[in-house]
């Protein structure tokens, strides 16, 4: 039965990534408070937050230091912008810290408010810089099938998921999508990870050759593909891809929105997976999601091009009202301080073996075709037939059913197609990891019972 609060929600709030036709009858899960790795609904029921919100709440709920950092900055200078030569100490200090932590040579940081805005900015910078460098034809950007880079017009075009394109008239011109690096799904029979990576690199080379290297400007990639289903690249993938990019003078954009700031046990996922990006998009765990903030880290050669073009035009005509918002910047600075002081990266490295052991143990479950992950992120892919890897009929929404059973068990995880994704706060303990996977195991068993009783495995 839908409560009054759920009815009010359905009548007023347009929900992202939801089935708008079924939500009013189903009712939203309405949360009231959070504490550590748990959130509580309006009835007081606790849920272990197995998705860190949306891949972002690294430090969990109730971090008083972050509340105080926001409050102090609000009292001192609640708002200031970075337009027309104005600035403030929180933005300056945060940019300095990010340059120090960046896994590649960094010159400047452009601040914005979300990962979508960061990747939208990346597209604009690619176009702008190539105009500045006298290469007006070198504008195409290659993303990948199943990549997720955001939902603005440009970033949603980079995203390689059908539901982000259908009836939005996307993608825009100049965006291409290379093959998805998911070995389980797309490798040929008997093809090793290294052989698969070689084939993907050869295919990318052929794509660039066909498009014309003089027209291809950039390749954008997440270290681990998050919202496409937690897809971990095959061994040697980035090494081989980068050789192709270097051959054709194509820059590499690292989308670190999910992997950045500790998710893979390093400050940046690029370091963990051997990427050497030219530019980097950041967001989410930058502030442990306590305040909206994101950014793009750029190298000297791009900064020089922007500066020369600004001199020519008279202004760098890009930015947002809340770029480098002082409250968000202060919270992000305090977040980075906590990461260092509490050795959060060391904690992640210490618990990853246990997390991955519990995750991969589900490979033997009747519903699971692949249990995959790296660092403190993973996914279980549900299949109708383990031997042939046959997927369920999408209309049966099996992964969504598992997630619904998990919610009843007091666990929040997320369905992405056939995959159930898991991405807990970085501060989770071994005991809480056990609680997470115990609850997920019960949800899987309940879903298996449902699938058998409903004959869901029957081929469509």
Q: What is the CATH number of the domain that holds 14?
A: 3.90.1150.10
Q: Identify whether the C-beta of residue 109 lies closer than 8 Å to the C-beta of residue 97.
A: no
Token pair for 332: 């992000």
Provide Rg for the chain, Cα atoms.
22
d(CA 91, CA 40): 34
58 with 89, same domain? no
d(CA 170, CA 309): 29
- Report which DSSP code applies to 137: T
Q: Which of 291, 310, 341 is the last residue of a domain?
A: 341
- Report which DSSP code applies to 22: T
Strands 279-282 and 294-298: antiparallel
281 with 271, same domain? yes
Q: Identify whether the C-beta of residue 362 lies closer than 8 Å to the C-beta of residue 445.
A: no
221 with 332, same domain? yes
Residue 341 DSSP SS3: helix
265 with 397, same domain? no
Cα–Cα nearest to 326, from 120, 93, 118, 108: 93
d(CA 263, CA 269): 7
Tell me which residue has tokens 């900015």. 121
Side-chain-side CA neighbours of 321 within 13 Å: the count stands at 1
Q: Which of 313, 341, 369 is the last residue of a domain?
A: 341
Q: Which of 285, 317, 341 is the last residue of a domain?
A: 341
Residue 449 DSSP SS3: helix
Give the torsion sign (CA, 351, 352, 355, 357). negative
Residue 162 DSSP SS3: helix
Report how many domains make up the chain: 2
Domain holding 188, by residue range, is 66-341
Buried b (16+ CB within 10 A) or exposed e, 427-444: bbeeebbebbbebbbbbb
Instruction: Provide the edge-to-edge strand list for the sheet that holds 108-112.
Output: 108-112, 294-298, 279-282, 251-255, 216-221, 140-144, 175-178
234 with 118, same domain? yes
User: 460 in a domain, yes or no?
Assistant: no
Q: What is the residue-level pLDDT of the chain in tens, covering all 460 positions?
A: 889 999 999 999 999 999 999 999 999 999 999 999 999 999 999 999 999 999 999 999 999 999 999 999 999 999 999 999 999 999 999 999 999 999 999 999 999 999 999 999 999 999 999 999 999 999 999 999 999 999 999 999 999 999 999 999 999 999 999 999 999 999 999 999 999 999 999 999 999 999 999 999 999 999 999 999 999 999 999 999 999 999 999 999 999 999 999 999 999 999 999 999 999 999 999 999 999 999 999 999 999 999 999 999 999 999 999 999 999 999 999 999 999 999 999 999 999 999 999 999 999 999 999 999 999 999 999 999 999 999 999 999 999 999 999 999 999 999 999 999 999 999 999 999 999 999 999 999 999 999 998 888 876 5
- Give me the residues paired with residue 281 across strands: 255, 296
């Amino acid at each position: 039965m839908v409560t009054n609060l759920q009815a009010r929600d359905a009548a007023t709030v347009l929900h992202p990534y939801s089935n708008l036709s079924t939500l009013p009858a189903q009712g939203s899960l309405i949360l009231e408070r959070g504490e550590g790795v748990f959130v509580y609904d309006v009835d007081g029921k606790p849920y272990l937050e197995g998705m860190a919100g949306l891949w972002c709440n690294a430090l969990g709920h109730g971090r008083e230091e972050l509340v105080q950092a926001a409050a102090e900055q609000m009292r001192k200078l609640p708002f200031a912008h970075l337009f027309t030569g104005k600035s403030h100490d929180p933005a300056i200090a945060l940019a300095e810290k990010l340059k120090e932590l960046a896994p590649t040579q960094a010159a400047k940081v452009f601040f914005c408010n979300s990962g979508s805005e960061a990747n939208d900015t990346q597209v604009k910078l690619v176009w702008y810089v190539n105009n500045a460098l006298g290469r007006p034809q070198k504008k195409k950007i290659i993303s990948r099938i199943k990549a997720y880079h955001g939902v603005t017009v440009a970033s949603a075009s980079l995203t390689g998921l059908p539901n982000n394109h259908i009836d939005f008239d996307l993608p825009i011109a100049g965006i291409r999508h290379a093959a998805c690096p998911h070995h389980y799904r797309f490798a040929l029979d008997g093809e090793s990870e290294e052989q698969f990576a070689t084939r993907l690199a050869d295919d990318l080379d052929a794509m660039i050759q066909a498009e014309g290297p003089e027209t291809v400007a950039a390749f954008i990639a997440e270290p681990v593909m998050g919202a496409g289903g937690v897809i971990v690249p095959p061994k040697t993938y980035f090494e081989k891809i980068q050789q192709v990019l270097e051959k054709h003078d194509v820059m590499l954009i690292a989308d670190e929105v999910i992997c950045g700031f500790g998710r893979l046990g390093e400050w940046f996922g690029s370091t963990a997976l051997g990427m050497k990006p030219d530019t980097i998009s950041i967001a989410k765990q930058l502030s442990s999601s306590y305040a909206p903030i994101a950014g793009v880290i750029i190298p000297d050669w791009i900064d020089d091009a922007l500066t020369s073009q600004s001199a020519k035009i008279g202004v760098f005509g890009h930015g947002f009202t809340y770029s480098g918002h002082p409250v968000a910047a202060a919270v992000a600075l305090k977040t980075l301080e906590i990461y260092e002081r509490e050795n959060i990266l060391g904690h992640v490295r210490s618990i990853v073996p246990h997390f991955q052991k519990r995750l991969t143990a589900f490979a033997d479950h009747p519903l699971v075709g692949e249990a995959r992950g790296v660092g403190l992120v993973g996914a279980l892919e549900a299949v109708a037939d383990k031997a042939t890897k046959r997927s369920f009929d999408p209309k049966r929404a099996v992964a969504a059913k598992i997630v619904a059973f998990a919610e009843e068990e007091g666990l929040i995880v997320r369905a992405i197609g056939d995959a159930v994704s898991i991405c807990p706060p970085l501060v989770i303990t071994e005991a809480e990891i056990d609680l997470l996977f115990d609850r997920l195991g019960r949800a899987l068993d309940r879903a298996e019972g449902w699938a058998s009783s409903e004959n869901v495995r029957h081929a469509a």
